[in-house]
Amino acid sequence: MSIEDLSRELAGQGDAARGPAVAAEDVSVFRWSKRLHERVPILEDINLTIRAGEHWSILGPNGAGKTTLLHLAAANSHPSTGTVDVLGKRLGRVDVRALRERIGLVDARTASSIPRKRPALETVESGAFSSIALQHQRLEASHRRRADALLEMVGLGYARERLFDECSQGERQRILLARAVMPNPELLLLDEPASGLDLPSREQLVAAMVAMSSPELGLTTITVTHHLEEIPPTATHAMLMADRRIVAQGRIEQVLTSELVSACFEVPVEVARNNDRWTATLRAAT
């Protein structure tokens, strides 16, 4: 079955998100520091609009605030100041449990919670109701078809019966990606999905991310990463973050420049684009 056929099989029945998928206005996040005995900022002065159907990559050094921003988009936390709207719903005025059902998330916590002795197909099926536990009484034949199609889409049709514990790290990440899309979300969030992967596994994951960006699926995606090489060619927009703030944001070709990336990471680099894949190399001393 082709990617196009799989996309039609997986296409959602719900209405597409109206308006921006994520919108933040004058957002800051503070956390209490036991050491300093005061509130300290971990995200400051964030303003952004991510429209439905766009595919964003967020890059920046450690401590820049990338994951904190992603947790706001996932409705897993609230801003200390400012407003955040996710899929048309304002955080603080909405039942976040219902909102999270419209959001797919892959992060380290997801991976640590998956039962290791469960086959890949059942692992994907368990995402149907955004639950780790399998709810056989609610699973239907259509769920099995959807999970099977998703495994095909991420290149793991051969691993349906393989236990999660027996899969490589790269295979696990692709299983989690398929699982996140199982409940037909409108927004897909990925927090450093390629972390720790070798070159072949990274490229297989990037290919799976490209498949999930199919227009037929109608997903809006936001991916946090440290490395330009991990950005899929389907990415439309980029954001650079440093010191808890946004350095630059917009169309990917306007943001991923040598000057802006160098300023963000505070190291001189040359950014190149070849066949819609990005690289950054240390600029030679003159």
pLDDT digits (tens, 9 = 90+) for 164-220: 999 999 999 999 999 999 999 999 999 999 999 999 999 999 999 999 998 888 999
- pLDDT for residue 6: 57
The C-alpha angle 222, 227, 228, rounded to 5 degrees, equals: 80
Altogether, the residues listed in the chain come to a count of: 286
Phi, psi of 56 (to 5 degrees): -105, 145
- String of b and e for 4-30 (b: at least 16 CB within 10 Å)? eebbebbeeeeeebeebbbbbeebbbe
Domain boundaries, the chain: 3-282
Structure tokens at 127: 């995402």
pLDDT score for 136:
58
Give the integer Cα–Cα distance in Å for 132 and 111: 11
* Number of alpha helices (DSSP H) and beta strands (DSSP E) in the chain: 10, 12
Quote the CA–CA distance of 194 and 62 in Å, as a whole number. 16
Q: Quote the pLDDT of residue 17.
A: 44
Q: CA 122: distance to chain centroid? A: 22
Per-residue confidence (pLDDT) for residue 132, from 0 to 100: 59
Closest CA to 195 of 255, 282, 111: 111
Identify the CATH homologous superfamily for domain 3-282.
P-loop containing nucleotide triphosphate hydrolases (3.40.50.300)
Residue numbers of the chain with a pLDDT score lower than 70: 1-18, 130-137, 285-286
Return the closest-CA partner of residue 232 out of 201, 210, 208, 255.
Answer: 210
**Whole-number pLDDT of residue 13:** 43
Which pLDDT score is estimated for 10? 59
**Closest of 52, 58, 55, 83 to residue 70, by C-alpha:** 58
